[in-house]
Amino acid sequence: MPSTTPPDDRTPDDAPTRPAPAHSAVGSPVVDTVHGPVRGRDDGVVKVWRGIRYAAAPVGGLRWRAPEPPQPWREPMDAIRVGPACPQPADPRIPLDLGAAIGEDCLNLNVWASSDTEPGDRKPVLVWVHGGAYVIGAASQPLYHGRELVRRGDVVLVTLNYRLGAFGFLELTALSSGRRRFDTNVGLRDVLFALAWVRDNIAAFGGDPDRVTLFGESAGGGIVTTLLGSPAAAGLFHRAIAQSSPATSCYGTERAIDVAEQFLGHLGLSPRDVDRLPDVPVAAIVEVSKHVFDDVPARRPGTLAFAPIVDGDIVPDYPVALARAGRTLPVPLVIGTNKDEASLFRWMKSPLLPITPDAIKKMFADIAAEQPGLRLPTETQISAAYRRQRGKRLGVGVASDIGFRMPSVWFAEGHTAVAPTYLYRFDWSTPTLRLLRLGAAHATELPYVFGNLDTPKDPTFTLGGRRTGRQVSQRIRTRWINFAVHGRPDGPPGEPRWHAYDRAERPCLLIDRRDRVVRDVDEPIRLTWGSEVLSFR
């Protein structure tokens, strides 16, 4: 969604932090971190520190390596401008305002707090992981400005960058010749490293390192569900919110190696040349990443080119399999999707989700070939199930449920055995979005979660709905904040009680013009798909 960015939120092409004058004025709070002091900005309502470096620049020999600590500094570093976003392709179908320049030196984060927050206040912490199909996006997007979330003083917010696309999710370890070392899942390792930074530093910003809620959307939600199954994440967060998680978009090493070889081939390199990759120009990596990103789902509908892999290390098994086996971290979880997830991909004519009949048939054929013992629903059963769902179109409905809804339901069913789990569905859409046949499409909940509804150029309110939208936003922010504070996603007074998910009642909160809790809202589709289709893809 188009939005404007304050001039002071832009960043030059240099490092994410810069030396500042030694004096500290009112309105320029200085905080000591384990790496050195940082100076932010306080406007009397909120304090914000932007572009704080949490890891060394992942360049040269550190490409495709686990993050390492930055060099410490002694003088206060200026943290009033956002740091660079990870290099990424531009897509005219997605007019994304990153709010920042791009550059490989992208491992930085932002901290938001109300102006009355002081060190030692130990307020709950929300840590945001942005989405973007693991290839685009940034913590600096105006959509993720934290002012409205923190201004009441209930929480401290952290938004972070991590490596994307080939920089973060290209599997090279199996191709290494031994002359250079590569690590798996470096994008996930970045998030873990940032969470360790939060643990070690957030108390100085007024946050509580023992009450950290990790939340994210789309690929960010996928990172949340993946890290819920990672022993390396134990103790780094204590609650989790997964919005529109593609929980089954986590693959085995064989498929990841195929993508890596395809990537090398487009660069004119063979697997024997893998050691040359750290010297390849950034522009070439981005260009080839875009080509591979488009090609993989066109050949294998329903799959992503770049995503977490089961490496036996930080990802011991497929996330849904871990949840079903009761092996996820025992932290309370809010998980859910939007009602019309796939309509965005149809509107964009994106190949990421299988929407056309041919793409859906191709995907089913791939599943049957990979998992010959799996009993799949027939085309007749699927058509009948979706005809019973009023207003649910077959192509978009199947794509939404395969890509997002059913993986989230499967994950909730498993995770509820180890911790309280709350299932939701975001149904609200403005008249404009309904007219465009987008409805509650993928990512449309984001401005409501952050309270950023008043962007002048936001086209979604052209035909009205802003007043109701503000009420929806107030309710969802209250629930998310209460979950971070108390571990229960309670709404404002008078709103329906949202009970934890269980296999008997299967309660689901429907977020719309009015919130309501519905029993087993997914029953027809859930029974059609069963509990195994795609859960281990």
| pLDDT (average), residues 445-465 | 89
Q: Mean pLDDT over all residues of the chain?
A: 89
pLDDT reading at 95 higher than 90: no
Of 251-260, 382-391, 428-437, 483-492, the range with the lowest mean pLDDT is 382-391
Q: For residue 390, what is the DSSP state?
A: T
411 phi, psi to nearest 5 deg: -65, -45
Q: What is the C-alpha to C-alpha distance for residues 520 and 523, in angstroms, rounded to an integer?
A: 5
Could you tell me which of 464, 466, 474 has the C-alpha nearest to residue 511? 474
Edge to edge, what strands does the sheet with 37-39 contain?
18-19, 77-78, 37-39, 30-32
Position 369 confidence tier, pLDDT thresholds 50, 70, 90? low
Average pLDDT for 461-476: 95
Catalytic residue, candidates 28, 114, 218, 408: 218
Mean pLDDT, range 270-276, rounded to an integer: 91
pLDDT at residue 382 greater than cutoff 90: no
> What would the mean pLDDT of 171-200 be, rounded to a whole number?
93
Q: Which of 143, 4, 121, 19 is nearest to 76 (CA)?
A: 19
Bridge partners, residue 109, by sequence: 52, 160
Q: Are 81 and 51 in contact (CB under 8 A)?
A: yes
pLDDT score of 177: 72
| Alpha carbons within 13 A on the beta-carbon side of 36 | 20
Q: Specify the pLDDT at position 16.
A: 38
pLDDT reading at 376 higher than 90? no
Binning pLDDT at 50, 70 and 90, where does residue 370 land?
Answer: low
Give Cα 459 to chain centroid, integer Å.
Answer: 24
Task: Extract the tokens encoding 147.
Answer: 């002012």
**What pLDDT digit, counting tens, does each position of 401-422 carry?**
888 999 999 999 999 999 999 9
In the prediction, which pLDDT does 392 show? 52
- Mean pLDDT check: name the lowest of 17-31, 149-163, 239-253: 17-31
User: Residue 535: is its pLDDT beyond 80?
Assistant: no
User: Could you say which of 104, 249, 442, 535 is catalytic?
Assistant: 442
Strand partners, 282: none
Task: Supply the pLDDT for residue 375.
Answer: 60
- Split at pLDDT 50, 70, 90, the class of 383 is confident
pLDDT at 456: 65
Mention every residue, 6+ apart, whose C-beta is less than 8 A from residue 45.
114, 115, 147, 151
Output the pLDDT for position 356.
77
* pLDDT > 90? residue 364: no
Report helix angle 186-201 to 219-227, nearest 10. Answer: 70
| 387: amino acid identity, one letter | R
Burial class (CB in 10 A: 0-12, 13-18, 19+), 343: buried
Residue 517 has pLDDT above 50, yes or no: yes
Residue 40 neighbours by CB distance under 10 Å: 25
pLDDT band at 367 (very low <50, low <70, confident <90, very high): low
* Alpha-helical regions (H) of 175-281: 186-201, 219-227, 253-266
- pLDDT score recorded for residue 24: 37
Cα dist. 381→353, 357, 526 in Å?
Answer: 21, 15, 12
Rounded Cα gap, residues 97 and 91, in angstroms: 11
Choice among 104, 148, 171, 341 that is catalytic: 341
Q: How far apart are CA 326 and CA 321, in angstroms?
A: 9
CA 251 vs. chain centroid, Å, equals 17
Q: Please tell me the distance from the alpha carbon of residue 130 to that of residue 396, in angstroms, as a whole number.
A: 24
pLDDT of res. 532: 53
3-class secondary structure per residue, 84-150: CECCCCCECCECCCCCCCECCCCCEEEEEEECCCCCCCCEEEEEEECCCCCCCCCCCCHHHCCHHHH
- The pLDDT value recorded for residue 362 is 78
442 is catalytic: yes
80 vs 34: CA distance, rounded Å: 19
DSSP 392-411: --HHHHHHHIIIIIHHHHHH
Sequence-separated (6 or more) residues with CB below 8 Å from residue 273? 264
The residue among 36, 29, 41, 46 whose CA lies nearest residue 15 is 36
pLDDT of residue 393: 60
Provide the pLDDT confidence category of residue 371 given band limits of 50, 70 and 90: low
Q: List, in sequence order, every residue forming a beta bridge with 213; answer none if it has no partner.
A: 126, 239
176 is catalytic: no
Backbone torsions φ then ψ of 428, nearest 5 degrees: -70, 135
The tokens of 422 are what?
């709350």
The strand pair at 123-129 and 108-114 is best described as unpaired
User: Can you give the pLDDT at residue 10?
Assistant: 36
Sign of CA pseudo-dihedral 402, 408, 411, 413: negative
For the chain, domains (ranges, CATH) are 28-424 (3.40.50.1820)
Per-residue pLDDT averaged across 61-84, rounded? 97
Q: SS3 sequence, 485-512?
A: HHCCCCCCCCCCCCCCCCCCCCEEEEEC
What's the rounded mean pLDDT across residues 12-29?
Answer: 47
CB atoms within 10 A of CB 532: 15
Give the model confidence (pLDDT) of 118-146 as tens digits. Answer: 999 999 999 999 999 999 999 999 999 99
